[in-house]
Homo-oligomer: A and B are copies of this chain.
Amino acid sequence: MLPKLKRRLFLILEVWTIHDSFSKIFDFFIITLIVLNVIAVSLATVADLRQRYYVLFQNFEYFSIAAFSIEYLLRLWSCTIDEHYKHPLWGRIKYMFTPLALIDLMAVLPFYLPMMIPDMRAARLFRLIRFLRFFKLTRYLKSFNLIKSVLNNKKEELIMTLGMVIILLFFSGSIIYFLENEAQPEQFANIPLAIWWAVVTLTTVGYGDVYPITPWGRLLGAVLAITGIGIIALPAGIIASGFAEVIEERKAQKYQVTTFICPHCGKMINSNDLKHARHRIKKEEIIEEWD
């Protein structure tokens, strides 16, 4: 009975591989818990809230650590079902060093470590590291398939665009440095700062912490900002054509159409229009012609 339970557990812990409502509930529970953890870690940095809801944060932390620890141990126990990790000891050690298992470990370890190394400074650091729990979502991100395949198809063009942006940033940063350095020695004190301005301008963020004030500096700023519009347009265009391609491919796979000539009248019929054909064509015949 135990091996059967282990197999069942293994399938539940896997992501949506089977149409198993219990597996879905489990996934939903873990995802919700991760999201709540991230929100809790965020809110706990607000001094006001931390003091008022101290006990609540504390208890939620204990509950999360318990849940994640049990999840980790169950994964470690049931992983031997997988062919790759089937050895009771070495298989489990091998599993422990897979990226996803390491992430799961990192999610709980910062809680247990300070117990062993009682050092206040380390404790604070470990508390911050709790944010790494967010990475536990990685396991569920596999479903971002379409977007990922589009980005993958267009990797080359997107990297080129990035390259152009970086060259443009260094270039315009250096020029603005020469143009504005004298007028604003504080704001444009050096080229890295000038590049910071170029980033803020080219991406059209425009905080307003640095901006040109000389006529030539403003002219360059205007050119850069207008170029920024084009730079935004490039990835948009690349990604748009990427989506169009991927969708077209999928559609082509779905509606594979065969065109053939009706043996009775010579009219061309495609497989989608079979039911509208003038002559009744025997199904065996057609199926024979398809494959």
CB-nearest residue of chain B to A278: B289
A144, B160: Cβ atoms under 8 Å?
yes
**Shortest Cβ gap from A224 to chain B (Å):** 9
Taken together, the copies of this chain in the complex come to 4
Residues in B whose Cβ lies below 8 Å from that of A196: 218, 221-222
B242, A237: Cβ atoms under 8 Å?
yes
B225, A200: Cβ atoms under 8 Å?
yes
- Interface stretch among A58-66, A72-80, A107-115, A203-211? A203-211
Residues in B whose Cβ lies below 8 Å from that of A238: 233, 237, 239-240, 243
Asked, given contacts A137-B167, A233-B238, A235-B233, whether A203 binds B190 with beta carbons under 8 Å apart, the answer is no
A237, B236: Cβ atoms under 8 Å?
yes
CB-nearest residue of chain B to A131: B174
CB-nearest residue of chain B to A177: B45
The interface bits of chain A over 69-100 (1 if a CB of B lies within 8 angstroms of the residue's CB, else 0) are: 00000000000000000000000000000000
- What interface size band does chain A fall in? 35 or more
The residue from B192, B236, B273 contacting A240, defined by CB atoms under 8 A apart: B236
Cα distance A150–B238 in the bound complex, in angstroms: 10
Does A288 sit at the interface, judged by CB under 8 A? yes
Some 9 contacts from A to B, beta carbons below 8 A apart, are: A42-B170, A42-B190, A45-B177, A144-B163, A229-B235, A233-B235, A236-B237, A237-B239, A240-B244
Cα distance A134–B169 in the bound complex, in angstroms: 12
**Shortest Cβ gap from A81 to chain B (Å):** 30
Cα distance A6–B196 in the bound complex, in angstroms: 45
Does A268 sit at the interface, judged by CB under 8 A? yes
The residue from B157, B160, B190, B207 contacting A47, defined by CB atoms under 8 A apart: B190
Does A116 sit at the interface, judged by CB under 8 A? no
Residues in B whose Cβ lies below 8 Å from that of A291: 276, 278
Does A28 sit at the interface, judged by CB under 8 A? no
Residues in B whose Cβ lies below 8 Å from that of A203: 204, 225-226, 228-229
Given contacts A199-B221, A261-B268, 7 further A-B contacts (CB under 8 A): A43-B191, A144-B160, A192-B215, A200-B225, A241-B243, A245-B247, A276-B291
